Amino acid sequence: MVKTGCLSSAYFGAEDYEEGLKKLKSHGFDCIDYSGFFDPNGEVYQIDDKKLNARLTDLRRAAADTDVKIWQMHAAWPLDDATPQSRKAGDKVYLKSIKAANVLGCEYLVIHPAMPYGWGKEPSVQEVYDINYERFYNLLPCAKDQGVTLCLENMPFGEEGHSFSKVKDVKTFIRNVNDRHLGACLDTGHAFVTGDNCYDAIKTLGEDLLTLHVHDDAVKQDRHLIPFQGSVDWEGFIKGLKEIGFDGCISLETSISVKTPEPMREQMRIALAGICRYFAERIGRN
């Protein structure tokens, strides 16, 4: 059966993972997308490796004890990709994340493409592709050594033709690199923002689709809405995953705001897990 997952940050932070894991499991989730390395200025990038590895090893134990799989984790973002020097520093951050994923027993690390011009118009798409080729060629040897697969995420650049703004661009990049330790993460909301239909995006990625960021969006804005609250084609999403034989994790990249009063928030988180199970059951065993 396809697995269900959510952001770890929806349930716990750096210290309170024991209770958070128990709660998300009781709500009906099987897996987590570990958020602990997303902030490039976070504590995990400041403390020494011995202390960090001890913490990650204990988190891995707690997850195993709760029968929760650390299915995927998100690498740091945003990084400064403007210069060769800043990109080299960014590579070091990613290398630390790869090694951390190995300690956690996490197979997939989701990475955004390098964005040397930020969100601005790129004077040369080829330059941006070359910068990304260099980055992934620098990271893949470590990924292979650590048993981690990198997953390149499609980005919500709008429809101006930026690099990696379309799922077909992600597919082309992955096929050009042609390494089994590089696959794709499909962000459903990002695909909607760029005008990619979910069904077509999934079929385009095919066997290269390894991880998901599942959320809804509307009016071409990346808002990370709960599924069925926006305009994403969820029937196409289900159909596409069934047809490619997807057997991974329906990992939600949305959560219930901490501003929501308790116990209403608790009820809504249970309902969110139910939506995730709905997807998993519709896709079924492949």
pLDDT tens for 133-144 read: 999 999 999 999
Check whether 49 has a pLDDT greater than 90.
Answer: yes
Contacts 24+ apart (CB under 8 A), 84-88: 87/114, 87/116, 87/131, 87/134, 87/135
Q: Cα 50 to the chain's mean position, in Å?
A: 26
Tell me which residue range forms the domain holding 250.
3-283
Pairing of strands 221-225, 216-218: antiparallel
Reduced to 3 states, what is the DSSP secondary structure of residue 222? strand
Determine which of 70-79, 116-125, 174-183, 188-197 has the lowest per-residue pLDDT on average: 116-125
Q: What is the pLDDT of residue 125?
A: 86
Structure tokens belonging to residue 162 = 């930026």
Which among 186, 171, 181 has a CA at the least distance from the CA of 251? Answer: 186
CATH of the domain at 221: 3.20.20.150
Model confidence pLDDT, tens digit, residues 51-110: 999 999 999 999 999 999 999 999 999 999 999 999 999 999 999 999 999 999 999 999
pLDDT at position 286: 39
CB neighbour class for 74 (10 Å; exposed up to 12, middle 13-18, buried from 19): buried
Length of the chain counted residue by residue: 286
Query: Is residue 118 over pLDDT 90?
Result: no
Distances (CA, A) of 117 to 165, 221, 223: 14, 20, 22
Q: What is the mean pLDDT of the chain?
A: 95
Amino acid at 80: D
pLDDT band of 32, cuts 50, 70, 90:
very high
The pLDDT of residue 285 is above 60: no
Please determine, for residue 158, whether its predicted confidence score (pLDDT) is greater than 80: no
Name the domain count of the chain.
1
Query: In this model, does residue 161 exceed pLDDT 60?
Result: no
pTM score: 0.96
Query: For residue 116, what is the DSSP state?
Result: T
